[in-house]
Amino acid sequence: MRILYIVDNYYPHIGGAELLFQNLAEGMAKANHKVTVLTPKNFPEYRDQEMYHGVQIVRQRVPPFAQRYFFTIWAIWKAIQLAKQHDLIHTATYNSIPLAWLAGLIARKKTVLTIYEVWDKKWYNLSGQTALKASLFRLFERTLLLFPFNRVICISDSTLRDYKALFPSVPAERIYPGVDYESMERLRLTAPQKNAFRQAKNWKEKDYVILGFGRPGISKGFDYLIEAVPTVVSNLPNARFVFIFPSAPNFISLRELLVQRLESFNLPASLTVLDRQSQADLFAYIQSVDCVVIPSLAEGFGYAAIEACTLAASVVTTTAGSIPEVVSGKVYLTMPANSHALAEGIIKMATSSELGLPSQKFTNEAMIRAHSSLYKDLLNQIDNSHPELPVTQ
């Protein structure tokens, strides 16, 4: 098979969506399929084209602001040319949807859409936007989801339920993403290594170190975690917070707001804010702290939560979206969008050893098998007509 992936972000960009398609693309390439990825050129140092782990990556140059939106328009010609050289096109929410659909229509290729999550009415109570902006975002999302594709994949039962609530007549299926457990095991630290890492960071043995990490997007809930900081520090005097916020162009303004709020607490001895880390360093932080907090407001799958559950001593997270489906181990679940609940969870986690959920795994092998079966079934269909528009309730 010759597969073209058109996605808003890809390696070396870091995030759950990027990991999903990197694992999928590299897995299909390893199975001797021709795989190409078309994606924006997010940073000047990225190459325009490169072969990485068997995948041909083609990056469309875009301005340093609103990159995904410019990508939708500026990559049209390149998408059409690449589509003609491949058997099918696979894209994902959100901004790549019109681009992939148009390329498939013109090149007469089968198309697949992966949906990470569906916000719909969540825009009003979780996004922090005004009613007008929330309505515009909801309309934007609904419009994009109306583009017809030959197959629709949702990455969790939670996302599938949300999608079917809007489009009950559209066939859709759930395929869980794969998780790179091998990298986590390869980078797992021994107890002496954890102690050495803590000493290198000047963390005392009595310090209770709490980590929040990830891109500071509106759905990640870091503003609620930050508002919980004073309450936690007042109840746990030895608490120390570490935040890892990548300063990607799309999130730099949100990052600056979060950092300014942290600085306003005037707790320099209890707070550390870091920029993007290598995978090895990030995993070292996750393993060496006492508690990892994933304060998501909405979550299509939850890579960060799974990584934390696999590597960390304990995890505090929310019941948002798919998180209850995927977490395991010593976990405290609390309601989303509530700083007091997060603070309570952190404090309870520092004093309790009774919490725990059964372990579970989401392998790349299972994900790749499911996608490969879907691709083959789709390409074996002799009907080349374009799918009809979804019908909403």
Name the DSSP letter for residue 9: -
Provide the pLDDT for residue 145: 97
Intervals of the chain under pLDDT 50 = none
- Angle among Cα 310, 316, 319 to the nearest 5 degrees reads 100
The phi and psi torsions of 187 (rounded to 5 degrees) equal -105, 15
Provide the pLDDT for residue 382: 67
Structure confidence by residue, pLDDT tens digits, 305-340: 999 999 999 999 999 999 999 999 999 999 999 999
In 327-361, which positions are buried (b, 16+ CB within 10 angstroms) versus exposed (e)? bbbbbbbbebbbbebbbbbbbebbeeeebeeeeee
The string of DSSP codes covering 131-184 is HHHHHHHHHHHHHHHTS--SEEEESSHHHHHHHHHH-TTS--EE-PPPB-HHHH
Are 96 and 18 in contact by the 8 Å Cβ rule? The answer is: no
Provide the pLDDT for residue 125: 81
Provide the pLDDT for residue 365: 95
Name the DSSP letter for residue 92: E
Structure confidence by residue, pLDDT tens digits, 28-84: 999 999 999 999 998 899 999 999 999 999 999 999 888 889 999 999 999 999 999
The phi and psi torsions of 152 (rounded to 5 degrees) equal -125, 130
Closest CA to 255 of 273, 228, 282, 242: 273
Provide the pLDDT for residue 355: 67
- For residue 94, cis peptide bond before it (omega within 30 degrees of 0): yes
Set out the domains of the chain in order of their start, with CATH numbers. 2-178+364-379 (3.40.50.2000), 181-351 (3.40.50.2000)
What residue ranges in 193-238 does DSSP mark as E strands?
208-213
What residue ranges in 330-373 does DSSP mark as E strands?
331-334
